[in-house]
Amino acid sequence: MSLRMLNTRPARPCAVLVGVQLPGVSDAEHAADLAELGRLVKTLGYDAVATVSQRREGLASGTVLGTGKLKELARLTGGSGVIASGAQDRTTKARERWEAAEAAVEVPGDEPGDEPEEEQATAPTGDAPVEEARRPTVVVVDHELSPSQLRNLEKATGAQVLDRTGVIVDIFHRHARSHEARMQVEIARLNYLAPRLRESTGGRERQQGRGAGDSAVELDRRKIRDRLAELREGLAAIQKDQDQRRYARRDQLRVALVGYTNAGKSSLMRALTGSEVLVADQLFATLDTTVRALQPESRPRVLVSDTVGFIKKLPHDLVASFRSTLDEALEASLLLYVVDASDPTWQMQLEVTRTVLREIGADAVPSLLLFNKVDRLDAAAQEALRSSHPEAMLLSAHRPGDVGLLRERILSAFAASMVDADLVIPYAAQSRISEIYEHTTVLSEAFDESGRRLRVRGLPGAIARLTQAFGA
């Protein structure tokens, strides 16, 4: 017995995943959704130790799950399984859970048949502390819950309940680094929390009496409103500054890496620009937009931006809060759609990315489809992608040769839209030569009495501006 206790891993809190399979959602899709929820939950630092899943017509019921499934879930978490009088304090249920420990904790898996029978749910007393440590204390539901569904589930399970949006908002909160990202995330978080405020403090309120709880919540809500106003003001100032910087880059060639979270955008950003952006095998590692020049530098210079990834069922106000990512995409001269070709759900991931970008009008921007991580695919799978998507490029961000070819593809995509012009730079204005080299490719150069004569090639905008100043 004591040996088993020694085996106990340092406590990472345990979570149980809950999903409803709605009509029209295939088994495979449902399993993939739950697997993705598992990765989100892992990114947040929990171990997903069990899955409860049910086929239902809709999500409208008070607890999302049916009565039987709710009981099953409650067995895992040690809750009562009922809502009305089930609002007992979790500590009063400790003994019950202690007794129900071991077998009720399901090994991760999506098979409904894996679920343990009720009569198995008795563990030897001596094991109780070990099993108690592995008992899920968090229930994570793969759908957006209404505040009352959330409260009902908390009552019935005795566990903390998070929905998919809540998990994403929490990850964003942990990963945001820059001042701007932190402000954006705080706005999204407060918007998410405000309507759920009363529910999450439900237990305490009941003890204090409803009136006291309500006014405290009202006060909190007012504070949230004030804070939101303050944040929006701060963000507007930052974004104005960014707009100006973007305006200054308007004539430059810009490429934006867009795609599902974890597709390898930051890895490609590093490889293309030599920058040290964060690469990590977790969801939403990047929450800041970074812009760097393509390396080795080209003439004209090409700027590459790394952006925040997308995910299925990303709440709309969270998308909206990432304005800088969307602006980067919208204003890019070329969009690189990065797909993790080794993920069995890549088609869905690409569709999600396309849908969000279509919604903001970025589908008009020329694009190039990149199947990344092909080092994980066998030859047959690569061949299949090549024949189904002849226009796309297969590559691995980890192979310098592939990255070199991508660089060539980017430069040749721009070559088609370039225009040529003749410029004369008077000797008195030679200090502006570097500006010309930055924005154009100089095709030929000669000197005469009027100054330096250049034949240049660049984007129409930059050429128009330069011709106005130096047109021959």
Ligand X SMILES: Nc1nc2c(ncn2[C@@H]2O[C@H](COP(=O)(O)OP(=O)(O)OP(=O)(O)O)[C@@H](O)[C@H]2O)c(=O)[nH]1
* Binding-site ranges for ligand X (CB under 6 A): 261-267, 279-281, 283-286, 309, 372-373, 375-376, 396-398
Q: Which amino acid is at 119?
A: E
Measured from the CB atom, the residue of 76 and 350 that comes closer to Mg ion is 350
Q: What minimum distance in Å lies between the beta carbon of 60 and ligand X?
A: 32
- Which partner, ligand X, Mg ion, none, binds residue 264 by CB below 5 to 8 Å per kind? ligand X
Q: What is the 3-state secondary structure (H, E, C) of the chain?
A: CHHHHHCCCCCCCEEEEEEEECCCCCHHHHHHHHHHHHHHHHHCCCEEEEEEEEECCCCCCCCCCCHHHHHHHHHHHCCCCCCCCCCCCHHHHHHHHHHCCHHHCCCCCCCHHHCCCHHHCCCCHHHHHHHHHHCCCEEEECCCCCHHHHHHHHHHHCCEEEEHHHHHHHHHHHHCCCHHHHHHHHHHHHHHHHHHHHHHCHHHHHHHCHHHHHHHHHHHHHHHHHHHHHHHHHHHHHHHHHHHHHHHCCCCEEEEEEEECCCCHHHHHHHHHCCCCCCCCCCCCCCCCEEEECCCCCCCCEEEEECCCECCCCCHHHHHHCHHHHHHHHHCCEEEEEEECCCCCHHHHHHHHHHHHHHCCHHHCCEEEEEECHHHCCHHHHHHHHHHCCCCEECCCCCHHHHHHHHHHHHHHHHCCCEEEEEEECHHHHHHHHHHHHHEEEEEEEEECCEEEEEEEECHHHHHHHHHHHEC
Nearer to ligand X, 267 or 440 (CB): 267
Q: At what angle do helices 179-193 and 210-248 cross, to 10 degrees?
A: 150
Task: Give the residue with the Cβ less far from ligand X, 338 or 462.
Answer: 338
Comparing every residue's Cβ against Mg ion, the nearest one is 286
Which of 106/306 has CB closer to ligand X? Answer: 306
Question: Most distant CA pair in the chain: distance in Å?
Answer: 99
| Residue 163 or 306 having the CB closest to ligand X | 306
Binding range to Mg ion, per CB under 5 A, among 60-68, 171-179, 263-271, 398-406: 263-271
311 binds, among Mg ion, ligand X, none (CB under 5 to 8 A by kind): none
**Do 44 and 168 touch, CB atoms closer than 8 A?**
no
Out of Mg ion, ligand X, none, what residue 223 binds, judged by CB under 5 to 8 A for its kind, is none
Nearer to Mg ion, 161 or 304 (CB): 304
CB of 286 to Mg ion, least distance (A): 3
State which residue, 371 or 414, has the beta carbon closest to Mg ion. 371
- In the list ligand X, Mg ion, none, the entry touching 21 (Cβ below 5 to 8 angstroms by class) is none
114-to-67, 99, 103 alpha-carbon distances in Å? 19, 21, 11
CB of 223 to ligand X, least distance (A): 32
How far apart are CB 283 and ligand X at their closest, in Å? Answer: 6
The entry of ligand X, Mg ion, none near residue 280 (CB within 5 to 8 angstroms by kind) is: ligand X
Q: Which lies closer to ligand X via its Cβ, residue 168 or residue 303?
A: 168
CB of 396 vs ligand X, minimal distance in Å: 4
398 binds, among ligand X, Mg ion, none (CB under 5 to 8 A by kind): ligand X
Least distance in angstroms from the C-beta of 178 to ligand X: 14
Six-digit token pair at 349? 């991931």
Q: How far is the CB of 15 from ligand X (least distance, A)?
A: 20
For ligand X, the closer CB: 157 or 261: 261
Residue 209 CA to residue 38 CA, distance in Å, equals 37
- Number of residues in contact with Mg ion, rule: CB under 5 A? 4
d(CA 124, CA 471): 89
**Which residue number is nearest to ligand X in terms of Cβ?**
309
CB of 204 to ligand X, least distance (A): 36
Chain residues 264-283 in contact with Mg ion, contact rule CB under 5 A: 265-266
367 binding partner (options Mg ion, ligand X, none; Cβ < 5 to 8 Å by kind): none
Residues 291-330 touching Mg ion, rule: CB under 5 A, are none
Question: Does residue number 286 form part of the binding site for Mg ion (CB under 5 A)?
Answer: yes
For residue 172, the minimal CB distance to ligand X (Å) is 11
How far apart are CB 265 and Mg ion at their closest, in Å? 5
Return the one option of Mg ion, ligand X, none that residue 372 interacts with (CB less than 5 to 8 A, by type): ligand X
Output 149 or 266, the one with its CB closest to ligand X. Answer: 266
Please give the residue ranges that form the binding site for Mg ion (CB under 5 A). Answer: 265-266, 285-286
